[in-house]
Chains A and B, each alone.
Chain A
Amino acid sequence: MKWSGNNKNYDTYFKEYWQGKLGGESAYSKALQNGFVEASAGGGGSYNGGALSSVATAIASYPAGGKDELVLYQKIAIGSGSGATNPWLQELPDTVTKSNWGNCALISMKKAEELGIKLDVDYEYHPDKPVIKVQSGNNSVELPILVVPGMNANTIAIAVGYGRGDKLGRTAAGIGKNVFPFASLSGNTISYEAINVTVTDAKRKEKVAQTQIHNSYEDRIEVLRETTLAYFKKNPNEVKEWRQHLVDTYAKKTGDFRKEGTLYGAHDQPGLKWGMNIDMNVCNGCNACVVACHAENNVPVVGKAEVLRYHDMHWLRIDRYFISDEKNPDDVKGVVFMPMMCQHCDNAPCENVCPVAATTHSEEGINQMAYNRCIGTRYCANNCPYKVRRFNWADYTGADTFPNNQNQTVVGKLDPVVFQMNDPVSRMVLNPDVTVRSRGVMEKCSFCIQRTQHAKLQAKKENRVLHDGEAKTACQQACPTNAIMFGNVHDKESQINKVRFDNPQRLFYSLEQLHVLPNVSYLAKIRNTEGVPGGTGHSEHGG
C-alpha cells in the first residue's frame, strides 16, 4: 500500500472502494453478507447492428494466410506451462489425444494423407510417430505428429508450455518443445496462431507417450452405451430391454444372475455395500478425478520412459472414444468419455485366479488388495476385463527393501522425475493414510477405502449411523460436474440409489454380459448430434 503512495491500511482502502461503488455502508455490509454483488438489472442490452458489421469487416479484413495454419493451445493439465513442474500434471493424459509428457503436432487425417503418413498398424501400435517440421518465418519446430480425427484439414495444433530449461527442475526440463515463439503480438492482444506455415516431413520418427492408442470402441455396445438424442427418443428402452434380456437368458429360474451366474455361490452382504455411478452424459473428460486419485492414493508417477512402455499407473483413467462413421473416421460425430476404474465386481474374475488370495472381496462389496500378500503373478490383471489393475514394474516410490534398484542402465532406464520420490521433502506429498506400494505388487482402485473407513469410524465414535454422502471418494469430490456418485446402495434413500432408480433407461454396467457383477454403474451418453446413432452394434453376446 505504501509503495502505491497510499497511507491507509488495506481494510480501509477496500471498504472505501466498495462503499463508493455500492453507495453507503449498509449496502457494503449487505454485499458482504450475501457474498456477492448483484449487478444492476440493465435490461438485456440492445442489439447493435453496427458493431456486428464492424466485426464482419474485421473478419473479412483478417490477413489471408497460406494453406496451413498453426494454432497454439493450452493443455488442460499444464496450461500455459504454469503446471509444467508438477509431475502429476505432466503424467496426466491429454483429454483428447491421451498423450502425456510432451507436446506433439496434432494434424488432421487429410494432412497425414497429404504428407504420405499411413495410419496403419505401425502407426497405431508403435509409439514411434513420424516427425514433421513446422515453419513460420524464422521460427521452426520439429515435433512428432498425432493424427486427430475430425480436425480441420489444414490446421496444425501444438500445445504450449513445453520445452522448459533445466533450471525448472527435473520434471519439466527437456520435455517437449517450446512453441511460444510462434505467437505474435497483434495490436494489444497476443495472437496464438500463425496463419502461414509450411509443413514438411522431417523423415524421422520420435516416440510419443500415450496411455491409450485405439480411438474407436468398435461398436462394442456391451462396453459402453451412447446414442443420439433422436435415436434415444425413438428407442428409449433399448438398454433396459437388453439388460432384461440378459436376465431372462442367463438367470431363468431366479431372475438374478447373482445366484445363477457363478460357480461359487452368492455371499451375503448384510450391512453397507458401496457402489458408484458415473453419468457419462455430464462427464466432459476434464481429468480432475484422475489427478485427485493420483494425489489421494499415492499413485506413483512413472515418467515418460515408462509411459512409453505402457507402464502408467493410473488407478482411474478416462477412456476416450471418437464416435464416427465406420467408413469415414474423419467425420467425428462426438467424443465419449468413460471414466474407468476398478469395477469392484461382486463376482470378480481377478479374485478367484490369485494363487495366494491377495485380492479378496469385502463384505461391503469392495474388491480389496492385500499388498503384503501379493507375490506379483499378474494373473489378476490378465483376467480383468476392464484392465484396471496396475503392476509396480519397478521401484517407482523407493518403497522396497532393495538398495539402489532404481539405477537401471540397460533396460527400462527411469526418468529423473521418478527419483524425486527419494527426496525426503518430495515424499511429504504422500498421503499418510494410504500404503505406499513396493515394487512387484499389483495395485488398483480401492474405492478410497481409507475414506470409507474414516467415515465409518467417525459415525461409530459419535454413536450414530453413517449418513449418505459422508464418505466421498477423491474422484467424486473432485468432479466439477457431479458425474460421479458414490454411496451405500443398501440405503434406499441414498443418492446413488436414487440416481440408479431415476435413470433406468440409461443405466448400464460395463460388460454386464460377463456376469462379473460390477459395483460401478454408468448412465449412457445421449448426444445431441446427428448421424451414427450408436447402440445398434452387435446385439449378440456371450456369457
Chain B
Amino acid sequence: MSLNRYESQARGPLVEGSKDYRQITEDICRPVEAKPSTLWWTGFLISAALLIFGIVSVTMEVIYGVGQWNLNKTIGWGWDITNFVWWVGIGHAGTLISAILLLFRQGWRTGVNRAAEAMTIFAVMCAGQFPIWHMGRVWNAFFVMPYPNTRGPLWVNFNSPLLWDVFAISTYFTVSLLFWYAGLLPDLATLRDRAKVKWRKWFYGMASFGWTGSTKHWQRHEALSLVLAGLATPLVLSVHTIVSFDFATSIVPGWHTTIFPPYFVAGAVFSGFAMVQTLLLVTRKVLNLEEYITIEHIDVMNKVIILTGSIVGIAYLTELFMAWYSAVPYEWFAFKENRVNLNSPYGWSYWIMMGCNVLSPQIFWIKKMRRNILVTFFMSILVNIGMWFERFVIIVTSVYRDYLPSSWSTYYSPTLWEVGFFLGTIGLFFTCYFLFSKYFPVIAIAEIKHILKRNGDNFKEAMKTEEEESLEAFEHANAHH
C-alpha cells in the first residue's frame, strides 16, 4: 500500500474500455454514418405519427376555438399550461449540465452534455407551443412583441408575468441553441472530414461553418463557450423563476406563494435530470455507447435527482405548513380541501404527485439502486409523471375552487384534442431527438477527448501503477531534485 493517491477511490473512470482518440471518433461517428436500424425507424415513425396527430389537434382548436378543450369559465388554464410548465422544466437539465457544471469543472458532464442540451432545446420548443396555441386568437400572437407599430402604436404590458415569459423563454431558447451549436462545430467538422458521400460532405461542410481546427478557432471556441456558459448560468435559474411568477404574482390561493421561484427551479432540474436519464438509458443501449455513458454517469445523475427531489419535497411541506400557519382561510382551503383531502375531486392528483416526487426518489439513498439501470429507468418515468402532476395540482386544483363558492367548477377532464396536443408535443420532441441522434454525434467528441487523458480507463490503469509505487521508490525517483 502506497501513500500516494492521485485518483479518487470513490469514482470510477468516465470512459471505459481503454479508448484512444481514434476509437472515440469511430464509436461516436458510427451511428451517424451507418444506416439507421429498424428500431430507429420504428421509433421515428411512431413519433412522427404522434406529431401529426398533434398538428390535427391544434388545427381543430384554431379553427373551432378554445372550446375544443374542456376549460371553462372558472378553469382558464388546464392541460395547456400544465404541459407548458412541464416541458420548460424538462428543458432545464441541459443548460445546467453544460453551463453550471462547466463552471464547476465537473468532468462527467462531457458524456451527457450534448444529448442533454439537445433535449433542452427540443423541450423548450415543445413548451413554447402551449402559450402560443392556447391563445384564443393565435393569429394575433405577435401583439406580445414590443416593437414600434402602426396599431396606435399599442404597447405591451410590462407588468404582466406572461410577457416576462415571452422574454425569458425566447432568451433561454436562443442562448441554449447557440451554446449547443457552438459545441457542435468541431464535431460537425470531424463528420465533414470523414464524409465519403457528396451530400454528407456538403451538409456537414455547411453546418460546420468552415471549421479547420486551427488554434485560433479553438481559442475563439473556448472563449465563446465560456461567455455562453456565463450567460446561460443565470438563465437556468431565471427561466423557471419567471415561469413561477405566472402563479406567484397572482392572487389565486394556491398560486400566490412566495416560495415558488426556488421551488420551481429545483423541480425543473429534478424533472430535467429524470428526462435525461430516460433518454440516455435508451440512447446508450441502442447506439452501443455504454462505454461513454457509464454507470458512473447514471449514479451521479441519480444523486442530483435525489437532491432536487428532496428539495421539492421540502418545498411541498413548507407551502403546506405556510398555508396553515398564515391563517388565511382561502389559502388553507386550497391546500387542505382542494389537495390533501383525498375525497375532494382532485385529491388523487395531489397524492400521485407526493408519491412520485417525494417518496419514490428516496430509493436512491441506496447505492445499489442508483446504479441499477432498470430501477433508474423506471424511476425516471415516475418522476416525470409526478412532475406533470405537480403542475396540474398547482394550476387546476388551485383555480377550480377559489374565492367564490358560487363559481366552483364542475369536474374538468381533457378532451381528445387537449390530450392530442400533449401527445403531439411528445411526438415533436422525439421526432427531433431521433433526427438528432441520427444526424449529429450524440456525445461531444471533442470534449470527451478532453477528459480522456484524466478520466479514461487507461489513465486510471496507468495511475494505478504509479500509485502502487512504493514510498522508497518514489523518494528515490524524486530525490535528484
Contact = CB atoms under 8 A, between A and B. Distances in A.
Contacts of B71: 378, 393
Nearest to B143: A356
Contacts of A317: 406
A217 interface: yes
A223 B402 CA distance: 11
Contact of B65 (A223, A382, A395): A395
Interface string B387-421: 00000000000010011111111110001110000
B154 A309 contact: no
A383 B251 contact: yes
B65 to A, nearest CB: 4
Max count, chain A CB within 10 A of own CB: residue among B65, B71, B137, B250:
B65
B2 interface: no
Given A125-B411, A391-B73, A542-B326, A382 B416 contact: no
Interface in A191-230: 212-214, 216-218, 220, 223
A236 to B, nearest CB: 25
Max count, chain B CB within 10 A of own CB: residue among A217, A389, A411:
A411
A215 B71 CA distance: 22
A418 to B, nearest CB: 11
B157 A357 contact: yes
Contact of B416 (A264, A383, A411): A411
B192 interface: no
B140 interface: yes
B329 interface: yes
Interface string A307-339: 001111000010111000000000000000010
B144 A356 contact: yes
Interface string B465-477: 0000000000000
A349 interface: yes
B160 A352 contact: yes
Given A353-B162, A402-B63, A375 B76 contact: no
Nearest to B251: A349
B399 to A, nearest CB: 6
B160 A542 contact: no
Contacts of A264: 159
Interface in A374-420: 374-379, 381-383, 385-387, 389-395, 402, 405, 408, 410-412
A220 B403 CA distance: 8
Interface string A518-529: 000000000000
The B interface is mostly helix, strand or loop, or mixed, namely loop
Interface string A288-324: 0000000000000000001001111000010111000
Contact of B160 (A319, A379, A391, A402): A379
A190 interface: no
A355 B406 contact: no
Nearest to A543: B328
Nearest to A395: B65
Interface residues of A, number: 69
B300 interface: no
A220 B329 contact: yes
A76 interface: no
A214 B405 contact: yes
Interface string B54-74: 000000100111111011111
A69 B157 CA distance: 60
B162 A309 contact: no
A405 B415 CA distance: 18
A540 B329 contact: yes
B343 interface: yes
Contact of B410 (A310, A354, A357, A393): A310
B439 interface: no
B160 A355 contact: yes
Given A214-B408, A405-B63, A440-B65, A542 B331 contact: yes
Interface in A18-51: none
A538 interface: yes
A353 B137 CA distance: 17
Max count, chain A CB within 10 A of own CB: residue among B67, B70, B144, B331:
B67
A541 interface: yes
B96 to A, nearest CB: 28
A311 B72 CA distance: 6
Given A392-B65, A541-B328, A382 B252 contact: yes
Given A321-B406, A411-B417, A312 B157 contact: no
A163 B343 CA distance: 37
A541 B326 CA distance: 9
A386 B141 CA distance: 27
B154 A379 contact: no
Nearest to A221: B329
B271 to A, nearest CB: 23
Max count, chain A CB within 10 A of own CB: residue among B60, B70, B136, B417:
B136
Contact of A538 (B136, B329, B404): B329
A338 B64 CA distance: 34
A394 B160 contact: no
Contact of A408 (B64, B77, B136, B404): B64
A441 interface: yes
Contacts of B141: 375
A340 interface: yes
Contact of B399 (A353, A382, A542): A382
A526 to B, nearest CB: 21
A516 interface: yes
Interface in B324-353: 326-331, 333, 343-345
A264 B159 CA distance: 9
A216 B337 CA distance: 15
B157 A354 contact: yes
A385 B137 contact: no
Contacts of B328: 540-542
A212 B71 CA distance: 16
A296 to B, nearest CB: 20
- 4 tightest A-B CB contacts, nearest first: A376-B136, A440-B136, A393-B67, A542-B328
Given A319-B404, A353-B159, 15 more contacts: A125-B410, A223-B405, A309-B70, A356-B156, A374-B136, A378-B136, A381-B76, A391-B136, A393-B65, A395-B64, A411-B64, A411-B417, A412-B67, A412-B68, A440-B65
Interface of A: 121, 125-127, 212-214, 216-218, 220, 223, 264, 306, 309-312, 317, 319-321, 338, 340, 349, 352-357, 373-379, 381-383, 385-387, 389-395, 402, 405, 408, 410-412, 438-442, 511, 514, 516, 538, 540-542
Interface of B: 60, 63-68, 70-74, 76-77, 131, 134-138, 140-141, 143-144, 154-157, 159-163, 166, 246, 249-252, 326-331, 333, 343-345, 399, 402-411, 415-417
12 contacts: A212-B407, A320-B406, A353-B249, A375-B137, A377-B162, A378-B134, A379-B162, A381-B73, A402-B63, A408-B68, A438-B137, A439-B65
